[in-house]
Structure 1
Amino acid sequence: MTGATGERERAVRGRGGRRQRLRRTTLAALLTAAVVLPLSAATRPQIPAPPPAALTTPLTPATLTTAYKANRENATEAARMAAAHGDVSRAAADRALASPSRHLLHFDARGTGRATEVFGDLAHATRVAVLVPGSDTTLDTYARFHTAAEALYRRLAHEHPRTRTAVVAWLGYQTPATISTAALTPGRAGQAAPRLREFIHEVHTLTAPEPAAVSLLCHSYGTVVCARTAPTLTGLGVTDIALVGSPGTGADTAAALHTSARIWAARGADDWIAEVPHVHADLFGTTVGFGTDPVSPPFGARVFAAGPGGHSDYFAPGSASLANLARIVLGETTEVTRA
């Protein structure tokens, strides 16, 4: 063995050792958080907010404009109440959502907040992408989620102007904080799954009589939500489920999701989620971790290229991941670049 070769091998072993130590440290931190940290912590004072707008007519393609207007007015009132309470950040977030240019299908400013925003003409779309966010997505941080959905819509509209597409940013559940016990367990996903299923059914109805093909684009903890929802989506036009930046789904394989939809997965080269141990264990009555890595061969997903980006870069304009997600939404599956 030459000196240069030996040095290279020692360097590789060193990197491998550091990676293993990091994984062990991360695992220890996750287990500590799940078992030792208290289940409740101090939170910001409750922000006063109005109840959601009460629509006088059922939600149909013909009443979408009315629903958008009612929810914008509700956001305006929420902004006023938040400002009176002294919460400048929430007031600004609500005020942005109340802009005449926004299409809010659902809105609820209570607590951490819920919002479902439409980009494009949902009633006449033949292809709809529904974005499901991960940890730390609330009304206070909603702007970055809006930016991601808007980037995808702009990509679809610019590259394929003749295809009737719509994008929906679905913040329809209480996402966990990244550093919390809730982010390590499937509890929030279990609560979110019926809500997501109900919304997909709503999309199916709103795009009738020829329901649109729906793609679920799920990020981070949102991939756990989509995995929980997948078996319930039969007959609702969901053709594809993309898992990006996933900590695992709670399923050992894509087949275990029990769906006819194509299952895709991707991870950016600089995504810290790669260091999260893919464990799945029951500790003191609590299920911790989400099991098999969706980009690993044993899981069996269609793995596509995401480029060099980090955990928050999957919808960055010009990125490989955004290009591939757009192709998935459009049904151009043979054009998707594989990892």
Structure 2
Amino acid sequence: MASRHHSSRLRRALLTALVTASVTVPVSGAARPAAVPAPAPTALAPLRTVAPAALAVRYAATRADIRAAARTAEADGDTGRAGSLRVMARPGRHFLSFDGRDGGRTTEVFGDLSRARRIAVLVPGSDTGLDQYGRLLAGAQALQRQLGSGAAVVAWLGYATPATVSPTVLTTGRADDAAPVLRRFVGELGGAAPAARISLLCHSYGSVVCGRAAPGIDAADIVLYGSPGAGRSSAAALHTRATVWAGRGGDDWIADVPHVRIPLPFVTVGLGADPVAAGFGARVFDAGGGGHSDYLKPGSLSLANLARIVSGQTPSGVVRHA
């Protein structure tokens, strides 16, 4: 009886969130960042090498695309977007890909990719786009500093992230669309840098993307942190040879998200089992006491442990092997 009551409560909570989001999103969506126009980017060949000369050519092409997008945004009257893009186009920034359309898609490199033997691919969660890129940028820079020489961080914003308050964030739809794109990118990266150890660091809704992309992906680690679920019932259901890690900060509100999958007409609502639960089967690392946006905060235990995982080392603190 108690189990049925708990399931009913979770179902009501999810349905309430779905209805609320359905009402609020159309009202707040009048000035969507995705509506800012941008030109089509240069058609780039697949990434086949990380040789310095080849990377320099690619970085130059994407820089030209970013500058073109800045000019288009300026002409459209969006000076904020134009200014952000001009900052992204500075010579010290290095992008493997860029597309300013539909909210923006970017793949930025921090560190020397041509010499990296450890590569962390950051997969961000909801509400991440060109206009909120500073959060992803700061986290990638902090992780690269923590890892030090011999490592590179790739901030992969390769999909249209859902809004935190929306019906979309309650389903795996965006993640299902993103999964083959992420799988293809990691495959290209592994082929271009075969000696490097690649780890996926997946935050919030990004862990759903990684969970859906996991089967067949060539990575040493898949790290789910601040996760509402991975769109799967267990680590075994990811069907991956990668070591699956999970962590959650002590003050992260995501702990209150119901971890269920509820079939409704035309859609399944919910993102699945809790990755830090013992029954999921991940290796649970100590993420400290921070909140949902604190995992890559300089000086934090979570940042130190994420860097240790990327380096192939055991995280410090409590590690539970489920």
Partner of 1:191: 177
142-151 or 86-95: which moved more? 86-95
How far off its partner does 1:40 sit? 5.8
Which residue of the partner structure matches residue 153 of structure 2? Answer: 167
**AA paired with 1:76?**
R
Shift of 1:44: 2.3
In structure 1, how many angstroms separate the alpha carbons of the residues matched to 2:300 and 2:144? Answer: 14
Q: Partner residue of 2:4?
A: none
Give the structure 2 partner of residue 30 of structure 1: 17
The 3-state SS of whatever aligns with 2:246 is strand
* SS of residue in 1 equivalent to 2:114: helix
Give the aligned partner of residue 201 of structure 1: 187
Q: Hey, what's the Cα distance between the residues in 2 that align with 1:256 and 1:25?
A: 27
Structure 2 equivalent of residue 287 of structure 1 = 268
Tell me, in whole angstroms, the C-alpha distance in 1 between the residues paired with 2:295 and 2:259: 21
- Cα distance 1:260–1:195, how it changes in 2: closer, same or farther (>3 A)? same
Q: Which residue of 2 aligns with 1:49?
A: 38
Residue number in structure 1 paired with 2:147: 156
> In the alignment, which residue of structure 2 is the partner of 1:17?
none
Distance 1:56 1:288 in 2: 37
Query: 2:171 matched to 1:182?
Result: no
What's the offset of the Cα at 1:25?
Answer: 7.6
One-letter code of the match for 1:131?
A: L
Matched, 1:124 2:115: yes
Asked if structure 2 preserves the Cα contact closer than 8 Å seen for 1:53 and 1:70, the reply is yes
8 Å CA contact retained: 2:48, 2:191: no
Root-mean-square deviation (Å): 2.5
- Asked if 1 retains the 8 angstrom alpha-carbon contact of 2:67 and 2:86, the reply is yes
Residues 252, 299 of structure 1: 8 Å contact kept: yes
Kept in 2, the 8 Å contact 1:327–1:336? The answer is no
Q: Tell me the SS of whatever aligns to 2:214.
A: helix
1:61 matched to 2:50: yes
Please give the per-residue CA displacement for 1:136-191, whole angstroms capped at 9, x wherever unaligned. Answer: 0001101110110110000111xxx4xx2111000000000000111000000000
Residue-by-residue CA offset, 1:34-80 (whole Å, 9 max, x unaligned): 7x649866442622212112348975323111111111121112112
Any residues of structure 2 matched to 1:183-262 within 5 Å, and which? 183-208=169-194, 210=195, 212-233=196-217, 236=218, 238-262=219-243
TM-score by length of 1: 0.85
* Greater CA drift, 189-198 or 274-283: 274-283
Q: Which of 267, 270, 275 is residue 251 of structure 2 equivalent to?
A: 270
Counterpart-to-counterpart distance in 1, 2:315 and 2:36:
48
| Distance (whole Å) between structure 1 residues aligned to residue 172 and residue 38 of structure 2 | 28
| 1:99 partnered with 2:85 | no
Give the letter aligned to residue 48 of structure 1: P
Identity within the alignment, %: 54
Task: Report how far residue 26 of structure 1 moved.
Answer: 4.4
Letter in 1 for 2:147: L
Which range is displaced more, 214-223 or 303-312? Answer: 303-312
Give the structure 2 partner of residue 10 of structure 1.
Answer: none
Q: Which amino acid in 1 is paired with 2:189?
A: V
Matched with 1:11 is none
Q: 2:322 aligned with 1:331, yes or no?
A: no
Alpha-carbon distance between aligned partners in 2 of 1:141 and 1:180, rounded to the nearest angstrom: 17
Q: Is the 8 A contact 1:117 1:168 kept in 2?
A: yes
Equivalent position SS for 1:74: helix
Q: Distance in 1 between matches of 2:77 and 2:165?
A: 27
Report the Cα offset of residue 94 of structure 1: 1.0
Q: Quick check: 1:324–1:337 contact (8 Å CA) kept in 2?
A: no
TM superposition outliers: structure 1 runs of 4+ over 6 Å: 22-25
Give the counterpart letter for 1:224 in structure 2: V
Gapped regions of structure 1 (runs ≥ 5): 1-19
Distance, in Å, in 1 between the alignment partners of 2:317 and 2:30 is 43
